[in-house]
């Protein structure tokens, strides 16, 4: 599984939203910005700003990749639940497809607020809610249930996205804007579908029989070929002010 390609794919899904939110939050005038959970650097490599860009991740191999893809960023190994920065360090702090994987997301958001200066901005750019996933045709509905169960088995909270705004409000962050990313995957490219299936096969290995996975993959390919495939996972964002 090429995780950088996967993160690049996810970054493409949110590109328009990121550009909009970063402009509104004043990234071009920021002195310092931090991505919590920067992975291989797919998002921070795309930032065009004079600000000092920082990235944090607990996975050292992925952080090593980030040093290649985002060489100008200042990267740190650390835990989102105890950020290794002083209070009020950053003008903008953000995360991207992270909080569903964190065992205590409220604490992670509280830490993001702590390291952000008063009047600064905290953004969660994308958190999905797999409990509301839609698969069409109906014959593909089991695929969504399998993936949701696999995420939960890996330690994720597949439905966290629906509680994202509530989490920000609970820790005292003023919500400026929130909503769902208006994106459907019924126009995904062939390459995106191949990447998605690489993730699916990795997630389901050991929990679903190989022949059942391949049968579902064949149904998926046939639905795309007929123009009938719909895959939609509501994905939420929040822009908040400290």
Does residue 3 carry a pLDDT above 90? no
pLDDT range class, residue 54, cuts 50, 70, 90: very high
Q: What is the pLDDT of residue 184?
A: 46
Nearest to 83 by CA among 73, 97, 93: 93
Residues in the chain: 242
In this prediction, residues 27-56 reach a mean pLDDT of 95
In this prediction, residues 105-134 reach a mean pLDDT of 97
CA distance linking residue 17 with residue 126, whole number of Å: 9
CB 223 within 8 A of CB 7: no
Residue-wise pLDDT for 201-232, tens only, equals 999 988 999 999 999 999 999 999 999 999 99
Angle between helices 190-204 and 3-13 (to 10 degrees): 120
Q: Cβ contacts of residue 34 below 8 Å, gap of 6+? A: 54, 55, 56, 85, 89, 90, 92, 93, 94, 115
In this prediction, residues 28-50 reach a mean pLDDT of 95
Q: What is the pLDDT of residue 183?
A: 59
DSSP 82: B
Number of neighbouring beta carbons within 10 Å of residue 52: 15
In this prediction, residues 52-72 reach a mean pLDDT of 96
Residue-wise pLDDT for 140-154, tens only, equals 999 999 999 999 999
Element containing residue 62 per DSSP (H, E): helix 60-69
Does residue 185 carry a pLDDT above 90? no
pTM strictly above 0.75: yes
Does residue 236 carry a pLDDT above 50? yes
In this prediction, residues 153-179 reach a mean pLDDT of 97
pLDDT range class, residue 160, cuts 50, 70, 90: very high
Number of helices (H), then strands (E), in the chain: 8, 9
CA distance linking residue 234 with residue 48, whole number of Å: 28
CA distance linking residue 187 with residue 165, whole number of Å: 28
């Amino acid at each position: 599984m090429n995780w950088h390609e996967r993160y690049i794919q996810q970054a493409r899904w949110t590109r328009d939203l990121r550009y909009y939110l970063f402009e509104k939050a004043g990234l071009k005038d920021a002195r310092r910005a931090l991505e919590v959970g920067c992975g291989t650097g797919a998002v921070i490599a795309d930032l065009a700003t004079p600000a000092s860009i920082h990235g944090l991740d607990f996975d050292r191999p992925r952080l090593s990749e980030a040093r290649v893809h985002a060489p100008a960023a200042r990267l740190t190994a650390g835990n989102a639940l105890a950020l290794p920065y002083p209070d009020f360090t950053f003008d903008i702090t953000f995360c991207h497809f992270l909080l569903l994987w964190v065992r205590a997301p409220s604490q992670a958001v509280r830490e993001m607020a702590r390291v952000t200066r008063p009047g600064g901005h905290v953004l969660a750019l994308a958190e999905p809610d797999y409990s509301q996933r839609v698969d069409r045709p109906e014959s593909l509905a089991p695929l969504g249930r399998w993936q949701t169960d696999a995420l939960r088995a890996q330690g994720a909270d597949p439905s966290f996205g629906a509680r994202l705004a509530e989490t920000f409000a609970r820790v005292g962050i003023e919500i400026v804007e929130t909503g769902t990313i208006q994106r459907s995957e019924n126009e995904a490219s062939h390459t995106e579908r191949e990447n998605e299936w690489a993730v699916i096969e990795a997630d389901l290995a050991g929990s679903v029989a190989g022949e059942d996975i391949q049968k579902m993959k064949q149904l998926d390919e046939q639905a795309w070929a007929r123009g009938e495939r719909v895959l939609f996972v509501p994905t939420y964002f929040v822009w908040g002010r400290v």
